[in-house]
Structure 1
Amino acid sequence: MTDIICGVDVGAATLDARIGRHGPWRQVANTPDGHAELATFCREHGVGLVVMEATGGYERAVFGALWAEGLPAAIVNPRAVRRFADGMGVLEKTDRIDCGMIAWYAQTKAVRPTPLAAPTQARLTALVVRLRQLTALKVAQANQARLVTEPAVLASFTAVLAAAAGQIRALEAHIAQAIADDPVWAALDRTFHTIKGVADRTVAHLMAEMPEIGTLSNKAVAKLAGLAPIANDSGRRAGKRPVRGGRAGVRGVLFVVAEIVRRYEPDFADLHHRLSQAGKPKKLIRVALARKLLVRLNAKARDIRRDLAIAP
């Protein structure tokens, strides 16, 4: 376990860093020079791990810079840190307090470093994120254009939709090429497509947002996607076991694709029929189908990774 942890509260313009919960504090700019100053501050205090919250992207540059400087770093869920602070009775919230709370949370939870994504993985993730954004934009614009009758306004919608469609095609080509250029991704792509109903976008989302697939147990990968039921029992009461948390993007894709897969795969159709006949709620059935699909994909990925590892 790392003894000395530096918590960093990340802002758009500044970084507040504290050694431990009550240790030395330093504020630096969220710029390359500020990142170097933060690295020096950490070395001066013998820091073994720098921990920061996910802040929608503002943390990416400093996270990469710290790893480049040889300082292990980790990214944690800000909601978990806030709940930890509330549980500890710390209701005050300032940047100085927050960075200390991050360090305290990391120490208590024995947080481990978050591996730095390889350049190819980072590129694929960026491409898939942009594809999702443009797809959402295209759907929104198409919905807004339905009731438009003014020619000039309709022409504007048409131009935007055409531009979005062109960008989407270009991104899909870049994603397909990135997958084809990587031996592991290419092998996973081929094996995932053996499940009828799994399309190119499904594969891209899985590789971009769940690179761990095939390296975890079925239970662990289901929990990672937020498809594992959470116990809610107390005494003699056996409560409903909801699913929550996890990677919402992957879960959303699996919900949609599992519904398509069940039209072609008999065992998925059988599962849907059994649960429906038993009177199970529709949401529970959706979760069960999505989890079954993820488990199957994980098993196929595990076999591919094993075969590639032992290949001469």
Structure 2
Amino acid sequence: MDKTICGVDVSKEWLDAHVEPNGAAGRFRNDAAGITDLAAWCQGHGVELAVMEASGGYERLALLLLWDLSLPCALVNARSVRRFAEAMGFLEKTDGIDAAMIAGYAQAKRVQPTLPPSPAQQRLKALVARLGQVTGDLTIQKQRKSAAADTETIASLDEVIALLVRQSRRLEGEIASLIDDDPLWACLDRAFRSLKGIASRSVARLMAELPEIGILSNKAIAKLAGLAPIANDSGKRSGRRPVRGGRAGPRGVLFLVASIVAKYDPHLAAFQHRLQAAGKEKMVIRIALARKLLVILNAKARDARTEFANAT
């Protein structure tokens, strides 16, 4: 028997809700009071699972508070829901329709709850995101300084650069302390950095944006990072198998780090040379190296998690 599911379309100010299978609909403010009202409304309709799309962070408060209010929640991919809606004949798009389509998609897909991140995981992700912003701003200011000519502009830029450098160092220190204070994270950090060429900042990004590493299978973690080839066959035709989707952040880190690690790791270097000798395209080699590195890191994380569990 299908669960009673509430699809929630999230915007900055509003939460539009639709319950399947009874078709009840409602609108609530996207704040603590509105989310509390939504939880009570869902309880009144016997909702067993609330499902919402990842909406650039606007869904975060609802996800956390609904779990706190004992209503399990799940996140789904917005593009998948839109394609489901189109397949069901809904070409139009409104908040109410989107909420209904989220609920219908969740039932058809038999979506499972998405456990909320721990407070430490939330803080790590926020610190890593802020460090990335500061690093980007620092790069821009240095580029402006290199193009500046007058001393007053250069002095002004130097002040901004000095501030950003201080913030970058402070954020790096907070991230390092947060990882060191968590026994499991410290164990994962040592496992990842046993590969020469992987810096602490790369480890922090992977742990913040790919917390499932070491828990999922190699195939599942590769698909989550958008590094798994997608089958494209029909009849006798065997098409090119592209990669798409997945989490852009971890994928970008793996693209960058894989080429560095390959300079030091003989197995990864040999793998790269075999692909080059076979005449593979540069982008194909880049993707394959990143996927190979992810598989290695996933195995190391799995071993580290097992070692940690046995030690506790």
Range that drifts further, 130-139 or 289-298: 130-139
How far is the alpha carbon of 1:86 from its aligned partner? 1.3
Q: Distance in 1 between matches of 2:175 and 2:246?
A: 24
Letter in 2 for 1:142: K
Shift of 1:70: 0.1
Aligned length: 312
User: What residue is the counterpart of 1:212 in the other structure?
Assistant: 212
- 1:21-64 Cα shifts (integer Å, max 9, x gaps): 77111111111110111011100000000011111111111111
The Cα of 1:216 is off from its aligned counterpart by 1.3
C-alpha contact 2:192 2:300 (8 A) present in aligned 1 = yes
Counterpart of 1:291 in structure 2 is 291
Q: 2:177 is matched by which residue type in structure 1?
A: Q
Instruction: Quote the Cα distance in structure 1 between the aligned partners of 2:103 and 2:154.
Output: 53
Q: CA deviation at 1:152?
A: 2.8
- Contact (CA 8 Å) 1:2, 1:49: kept in 2 or not? no
Once the two structures are superposed, the pairs formed by residues 9-158 of structure 1 within 5 Å of their partners are 9-20=9-20, 23-158=23-158
**Counterparts in 2 of 1:142-291, with a 5 A limit?**
142-291=142-291
1:146 aligned counterpart, secondary structure: helix
Aligned-residue sequence identity (percent) comes to: 56
Tell me the SS of whatever aligns to 2:81: helix
Quote the Cα distance in structure 1 between the aligned partners of 2:21 and 2:2. 14
The structural deviation recorded for 1:166 is 1.1
Which stretches in structure 1 are left out of the alignment for 5+ residues? none
1-structure distance, mates of 2:54, 2:154: 40
Q: Structure 1 CA distance, aligned partners of 2:134 and 2:207?
A: 19
Q: Normalising by the residue count of structure 1, what TM-score does the alignment of the two structures yield?
A: 0.96
8 Å Cα contact 1:2/1:48 also seen in 2: no
Contact 2:50 2:72 in 1 (8 A): yes
RMSD: 1.4
Distance (whole Å) between structure 1 residues aligned to residue 249 and residue 200 of structure 2:
16
Note the alpha carbon deviations across 1:154-183, whole angstroms, 9 max, x for none: 333222222111111111000000100011
Deviations 1:93-139 (A, max 9, x none): 11111111111111111111110111111111111111111112222
| CA shift in 2, pair 1:268/1:28, >3 Å | same
State the Cα deviation string for residues 197-253 of structure 1 (Å, max 9, x = none): 011011101111111111111111111111111111111111111111111100100
CA distance in 1, matches of 2:145, 2:88: 51
CA drift of 1:308 comes to 1.6
CA–CA distance in structure 2, aligned partners of residues 265 and 70 of structure 1: 47
**Secondary structure, in 3 states, of the residue corresponding to 1:18?**
strand
User: Which secondary structure does the structure 1 equivalent of 2:23 belong to?
Assistant: coil
Q: Which amino acid aligns with 2:265?
A: E
CA distance in 2, matches of 1:230, 1:160: 45
Instruction: Give the partner amino acid of 1:307.
Output: E
Q: Which letter does structure 1 place at the counterpart of 2:146?
A: R
Aligned match of 1:302: 302
State the AA in 2 paired with 1:216. Answer: L
Contact kept, 8 Å, 2:4 with 2:21, in 1: the verdict is: no
Q: Which amino acid aligns with 2:10?
A: V
Moved more, 150-159 or 229-238: 150-159
Structure 1 distance, partners of 2:262, 2:29, is: 52
C-alpha spacing 1:223/1:243, structure 2 compared with 1 (3 Å): same
Deviates more, 1:157-166 or 1:288-297: 157-166
TM-score by length of 2: 0.96
Give the CA deviation at 1:5.
Answer: 0.5
* AA aligned opposite 1:187: C
Q: Secondary structure at the match of 1:47?
A: coil
Runs of 4+ in 1 over 3 A off after TM superposition: none
Tell me which amino acid in the other structure corresponds to 1:196.
K
Deviation at 1:289, TM superposition (A): 0.9
Q: Are the aligned partners of 1:21 and 1:101 in contact in 2 as well (CA < 8 Å)?
A: no
